[in-house]
Amino acid sequence: MIFCFNAAEVFQVAIEIKENGRAFYEKAQNIVQNPEVQKLFADLAREEVEHKNKIANLTAGLPSDIKSPTVADSENELEVYVKAMADQHVFRSCGALNVQLDQIKDAQDALRLALQFEKDSVIFFLGMQEATCEGRDRDVINLLLKEEQIHVRRLSLQMQRMGYCRI
């Protein structure tokens, strides 16, 4: 089957990813002792909330034809594909988030985990963009992708400023 997702289908998982990002940044902010990293994480947590709200508003404003499935999917292959993509995300469930947070020993660990979270988000949106119909839906997903890429750059720059390797 050739997939042709619409934005509403992708937004459902994106909202969960944003909520997990907010939870991570807020919790990691309390673990890390470095004030510069704490401030960055506070900013990123706020941005995750803003992004989540933007996605919710975009979803609410989508015309009904964009919210409707774009292909017949009697075997729920689309849902399975989206779930498989989302399950690869580092913070797919709250339990996974807590396990990851328990591994943080210092600012470097927190930054590496945050960078992995944002990279996973970029990969998710790239995969969904490729499986989304041409046009407005793909353009909207591209906006979300750019927000994730900005977070990757900010985290990478912070790691460089602190002299940490990104690997």
In a domain, 1, yes or no: no
Q: Coil, helix or strand for 5?
A: strand
In a domain, 65, yes or no: yes
Q: In percent, how much of the chain has pLDDT > 90?
A: 38
Average of pLDDT values for 74-82? 67
Identify which has the larger pLDDT, 137 or 54: 54
> Residue 146: what residue type?
K
pLDDT tens sequence across 105-161? 999 999 999 999 899 889 888 888 887 777 777 787 888 899 999 999 999 999 999
Average of pLDDT values for 52-65? 81
In a domain, 129, yes or no: yes
In a domain, 102, yes or no: yes
In a domain, 166, yes or no: no
In a domain, 66, yes or no: yes
At residue 60, the pLDDT reads 84
Q: How many domains is the chain partitioned into structurally?
A: 1
Q: How far is CA 146 from the centre of its chain?
A: 11
Average pLDDT score over the chain: 82
Tell me the C-alpha distance between 42 and 38, whole Å: 6
CATH number at residue 93: 1.20.1260.10
At residue 93, the pLDDT reads 58
Domain of residue 30 covers 7-161
| Predicted model pTM | 0.81
At residue 1, the pLDDT reads 42
At residue 44, the pLDDT reads 97
In a domain, 55, yes or no: yes
Give Cβ neighbours of residue 148 (< 8 Å, ≥ 6 apart): 118, 121, 122, 125
Average of pLDDT values for 47-71? 78
Tell me the C-alpha distance between 81 and 147, whole Å: 23
In a domain, 167, yes or no: no
